[in-house]
Amino acid sequence: MSWKRSKWVPIPVALALVILLISSNNWVANSIVQSLEWQYIPKATLPKADAIVVLGGATRSQFPPRPAPDLNEGGDRVVYGAELYREGKAPVIIASGGRIEWRGGGASESGDMATILEMMGVPPSAILQDPNSLNTYENAVNVKEIMQKNKIRRILLVTSAMHMPRALKIFQRQGIEAIPAPTDFQITQQEINEANNSFESTVLSILPDTQRLDRTTRSIKEYVGTFIYWLRGWV
């Protein structure tokens, strides 16, 4: 349109700017994230189960110069899984996750999670692995097989709070008795209160911010993912 010097050029430019400003707005980003994260906040102390399932998406492979597998932004999953184990919530942790080759390859996420769990004091004998899952649907299918082999009936499902609504539906679709144990919350009540408690914070909430844009993008991805999984009959 620009090459042809069309009079309609300002329209897509203005539309792109509006989308950028809205999606990076603090109130918009917080609302979308909260709509996902706050669906399964435990109302009481988590009960005991037969196993703790920690979903992948939490580690980076041990490539030089890393001395060991790293935790990424979703690493709270592994930390929380280890915490639940130390609290005696379950005698076993199932680490579920493979590694997509076109994303860099490396050791399976389940193996990396097992390494980090052992660093946190979880004995190797208490860790079961699913090294083949490449998405949440495969997580559920493969975990179900492990549960059947080990006579596990009920699990605590650990994943990021934003991912929990989709993950829980998929596991329940497989007939798994899963209790949601969300972690890695992006939005807290304190952050919501701070966004409106002063003139300065209000101004900052209006201005664009790349972190908020990232939150909005990941939230939309979850909603789109849920819709696609629904079309495929996975949720």
- Gap between the Cα atoms of 192 and 202, Å rounded: 11
DSSP class of 211: H
pTM for the predicted model, two decimal places: 0.89
User: What type of residue sits at position 140?
Assistant: A
User: What type of residue sits at position 114?
Assistant: A
> At 2, is the pLDDT very low, low, confident or very high (cuts 50, 70, 90)?
low
> At 219, is the pLDDT very low, low, confident or very high (cuts 50, 70, 90)?
very high
DSSP class of 61: -
- Gap between the Cα atoms of 168 and 136, Å rounded: 10
Q: What is the CATH topology of the domain spanning 38-185?
A: Rossmann fold (3.40.50)
Angle between helix 210-231 and helix 10-23 axes, rounded to 10 deg: 90
Q: For the residues 131-156, what does the mean pLDDT come to? A: 97
Q: Output the CA angle 200-205-207, nearest 5 degrees.
A: 100
What are the residue boundaries of the structural domains of the chain, listed by start? 38-185
pLDDT one-digit tens code per residue, 57-98 = 999 999 999 999 999 999 999 999 999 999 999 999 999 999
List helix spans (H) across 70-135.
76-86, 109-119
Q: Over 70: is that where the pLDDT of 195 sits?
A: no
